[in-house]
Structure 1
Amino acid sequence: MSDCLVVGGGIIGLSLAYELSRRGMSVTLVEQDEWGGQASSAAAGMLAPLKEFAAPGPMLDLGMTSLACYPQWAAELEEFTGGDVQLSLEGLLTVALNDDEQEQLLAKYLWQKEAGYSVHFLTERQQLAEVEPLLTEQAQAAIYSPYEGHINNRMLLRALVTACRLQGVVLHAGCVVSGIAVKGGRVVGVESSLGPLRATQTIITSGAWAGIMLEMLGVSVPVRPVRGQIAAVSSAGIPLRTVIFGTSGYITPKKDGKIVIGATEDESGFQREVTLAGLASVLNGVMPYVPALHSAAFLEAWGGLRPATADGKPLLGPVPGWDGLSIAGGHFRNGILLSPVTAKWMADYLEKGETERLTPFLPSRFLAETDQAQHKMG
């Protein structure tokens, strides 16, 4: 029997298992497919809270806290595992191509600057070209955020799997959970294709499948899958150096010879396939920003399912009415960004019962206390 059973082996589950094991807990981590095979591997690895979040509030605070964790977290992972995660916090541009976009961008810049964030509003062609020489001459303005960036999410996933293994986490890939086990009014683990798995605390980190998992207890949480389709082209002959965001896509130069571009947001249920329309949308959406991409060699395209919630905030903390059960999910397109802070804050809750920082994200905002007599078994 483990101290903690983490159900779902994406970036959130792996990060949490790693953090819990570092604190001396015994941890079992199960994944029905391959490690990080859904939203985590389909991401572009963006670390851009000032771009992602449109207004001040809990999500921006969470994102900035997690971004601040990244340099030390990544360095420790690399030292511990001997792997490279290709962290790059060298800045990004959010670009306006017309007057309307420039007006919206300026409004965003003004509140970010007033809030004390390090951002710059560039309107001169020379300024824009200094940051990114390949940026289209049609660019009218951009917010330059010098301390945001990206990470190689696939290499990060590999490093986390290695780190969990080295920390003694019991890892079970290809393990299908068929039920949540309850005894004496408390969740005590899961039933699985490997047999019963028992733990003092069970944490659901199964991304877009979190709702399906909790339905096993008759608990309904508003988590749904949103497909993201992404492509990669070769950077050969295209020395792009800065992440570029536009209204119709983003462009991310990686250190492994690829430029990752994306992404769609499709309400397609649990379908992961890349569609011709989706791929066309991704490719056509980015070329206006960097004309040199017209000659880029196409490498690959893929899709993944992002876990979206009804209010756009993740679900972090205990599931009301079910002792021994908690959830860390619903991060939508920010699972990579939010993984360090999610792991630390959830571990604080599981280790010490701390929930104050989790308040804006507690599942109780959607869930009333479950009727004990109706739902609890065994």
Structure 2
Amino acid sequence: MTNCLIVGGGIIGLSLAYELSRRGLSVTVAEQGAWGGQASSAAAGMLAPLKEFSQPGPLLDLGIESLRLYPEWAAELEAEAGRDVQLCIDGLLTVALTEEEAEQLRAKFTWQRESGYDVRWLTGAAIRDVEPLLTDRAIAAIHSPSEGHVNNRMLLQALVTACKRRGVTLLSGCVVTGFVAEGSRVVGVETTAGSLFADETIIASGAWAGIAMGWLGLSIPVLPVRGQIAAVDSAGIPLQTVIFGSTGYITPKRDGKIVLGATEDEAGFQREVTLEGLTGVLNGVMPYVPALSSAPFLEAWAGLRPATADGKPLLGPVPGWSGLSLAGGHFRNGILLSPITAKLMADYLEQGRTERLEPFLPERFTSVVSQGRKMG
């Protein structure tokens, strides 16, 4: 029996496995498909809490703290895995092309500035001093020099390597079909590879978390939202800065790609790239950097992001059951929130501490919808 069994091998599950193994616990991760094949791949690796979160509160605080953890966390992970994750904390621009957008941006800038965050208001030529390739149509922008991005694919590869080196048992192609319980205590799961037992079971299966909770007669609002994303070759397009606009984002990577995104469409558990989605992504970004129209197209892909009803993740124990907890519902911000999620969840699993998890506890949503229990 292992100390901790994690169901789900995306960025959250792997980050937690890495953190727990560093604390000396034995860990097994069961993943039904490829490592990081869903929400973790439907991402550009953005580390931008000030852009992502529209108001002060616990979610913004969580994002800011996670961003602060990133440099040391990434450096330790790179040393452990012997792999670069291409962490770039070199700023980003949120751009307005119309007066209406500028007014909305100005309101956001005002509260962020008053809250003490390092943001700058740029207009006219000052915007293109930061990014010369930006369109002349840009009339205003928030420049956030302390935010950035990471190569999410390289990050996932580094986490897999580091987990292996720390003795984590990684089971890919392992589909969980039910829980194993003794009374009201979960002691493991049933899978297509047989039963797995653990002192603590953590559901980190992203958009599939709601299905797992249904096996216990619980209902939590986790909705799969498809994200479609594309990449072009950066050759001849010396883009320097991440650009966010109202219709898309543009992220230059050090591996020679420019990542473009992204859709948010509800298509159930379908994760195919559609012509409509791809067209929307490409048309959404070209108004900001016209030079992209000549960029060689490289690839497009999609994944399912787990959205919750209030936009906040689900972190902590599952009500009514011991030995079972959730780590999910991060929607578009799993990459950003992975270091802090791993730390706080490991604190809970190792020490029983939940005070930092209060705003994110699953008990705010879960309700018994039936007395049926699927035990495998």
Give the distance between the partners of 1:229 and 1:77, measured in 2 at CA. 28
SS of the residue 1:41 aligns to: coil
SS of the aligned residue for 1:138 comes to: coil
Q: How far off is 1:86 after superposition?
A: 0.1
Displacement of 1:217 in angstroms is 1.2
1:361: which partner in 2?
360
- Taking the aligned partners of 1:184 and 1:210, their CA distance within structure 2 comes to 21
3-state SS in 2 of match to 1:75: helix
Quick check: 215-224 or 196-205, which moved more? 215-224
Q: What is residue 32 of structure 1 aligned with on the other side? A: 32
What's 2:42 paired with?
A: 42
Counterpart residue number, 1:226: 225
Distance in structure 2 (CA, Å) of the matches to 1:339 and 1:98: 35
Paired with 1:321 and 1:247, the residues of 2 have a C-alpha distance of: 42
Q: State the shift of 1:185 in Å.
A: 2.4
Determine the C-alpha separation between the residues in 1 that align with 2:217 and 2:21: 30
Q: How does 1:323-338 map to 2 (within 5 A)?
A: 323-338=322-337
Contact 1:176 1:193 in 2 (8 A): yes
Gaps of 5+ in 1: none
Q: Name the counterpart of 2:14.
A: 14
The CA deviation at 1:371 is 9.4
- Could you list the per-position Cα deviations for residues 346-375 of structure 1 after superposition, in whole angstroms to 9, with x for gaps in the alignment? 00000001101100000000125x599765
Structure 2 residue aligned with 1:308: 307
**8 Å contact 1:321–1:371 — kept in the other structure?**
no
- Matches of 1:246 and 1:84, distance apart in 2: 29
Check the 8 A contact 1:181/1:190 in 2, yes or no. Answer: yes
- Counterpart Cα distance in 2 of 1:371 and 1:46: 37
| Number of the residue aligned with 1:93 | 93
Within a 5 Å distance, the mapping from 1:1-378 to structure 2 comes to: 1-125=1-125, 127-368=126-367, 375=373
Q: Indicate the percent of aligned positions where both proteins have the same amino acid.
A: 72
What is the aligned-residue RMSD (CA, Å)? 1.4
SS at match of 1:15: helix
The one-letter amino acid of 1:115's match is S
| Cα deviation digits, residues 117-136 of structure 1 (max 9, x gap) | 000000131x1121101000
TM-score relative to the length of structure 1 = 0.97
Residue 98 and residue 168 in structure 1: after superposition, are their counterparts in 2 closer, same or farther (change >3 A)?
A: same
Write the distance in 2 (CA, Å) between the matches of 1:53 and 1:326. 25
Q: What do residues 178-214 of structure 1 show as CA deviations (whole Å, max 9, x unaligned)?
A: 1111013210000111111000000000000001111
Q: In structure 2, the residue corresponding to 1:175 is in which secondary structure?
A: coil
Instruction: Please give the TM-score of this superposition, normalised by the length of structure 2.
Output: 0.98
DSSP 3-state at the match of 2:41: helix
C-alpha distance in 2 between matches for 1:375 and 1:169: 29
Paired positions, count: 376
What CA distance in whole angstroms lies between the structure 2 residues aligned with 1:376 and 1:153? 35
AA aligned opposite 2:68: A
Query: 1:183·1:377 contact (CA, 8 Å) conserved in 2?
Result: no
Counterpart amino acid of residue 348 in structure 2: Y
8 Å contact from structure 1 (residues 231, 260) kept in 2: yes
Point out where structure 2 has 5 or more consecutive residues left out of the alignment.
Answer: none
Letter of the 1:297 counterpart: P
On the 8 A contact 1:2/1:27 being kept in 2, the answer is: yes
Q: Would the aligned equivalents of 1:31 and 1:175 in 2 still touch at CA under 8 Å?
A: yes
**Deviation sequence 1:48-94 (CA, Å, 0-9, x none):** 00000000011100100100000000000011111000000000000
- In 2, Cα distance between equivalents of 1:6 and 1:244: 35
Letter paired with 1:10: G
Measure, in 1, the Cα distance between the counterparts of 2:292 and 2:375: 58
Q: Is the 8 A contact 2:10 2:36 kept in 1?
A: yes
Distance 2:319 2:42 in 1: 31
Superposed CA offset, 1:14-55 (max 9, x none): 000000111111111110001001110121100000000000
CA distance in 2, matches of 1:206, 1:298: 31
